[in-house]
Amino acid sequence: DTLGITSVVVSHDLEETFAIADQVIILANGKIAAQGTPAQVKASTDPLVEQFVNGRADGPVAFDYPGPTVAQDFGGGFGK
């Protein structure tokens, strides 16, 4: 407000974004999933927004990437 300028910041660092932004927009699948002040976005009851804002593994976005396990990647010495 002091400088009277507008900035657009693209980030996955929500803590930093919420600290500096007047308005936040969360995009998902090419559409706006949430828009508002940081407090409004944090208070969202949308499952996708809640999952992203709170860093939850469980929710509408699957976190099970079909890739090799750590043991497969690094020779099987892990988890024994």
What mean pLDDT do residues 72-76 have? Answer: 74
Strand partners, 24: 36
Q: Is the pLDDT of residue 80 over 60?
A: no
Render pLDDT for 38-67 as a digit per residue (tens, 0 to 9): 999 999 999 999 999 998 888 888 776 677
Computed over every residue of the chain, the mean pLDDT equals 87
What mean pLDDT do residues 16-44 have? Answer: 95
Instruction: Tell me the whole-structure pTM to 2 decimals.
Output: 0.70
Instruction: Report d(CA 22, CA 35) in Å as an integer.
Output: 11
Of 1, 38, 40, 6, the C-alpha closest to 19 is 38
Q: Is the pLDDT of residue 79 over 70?
A: no
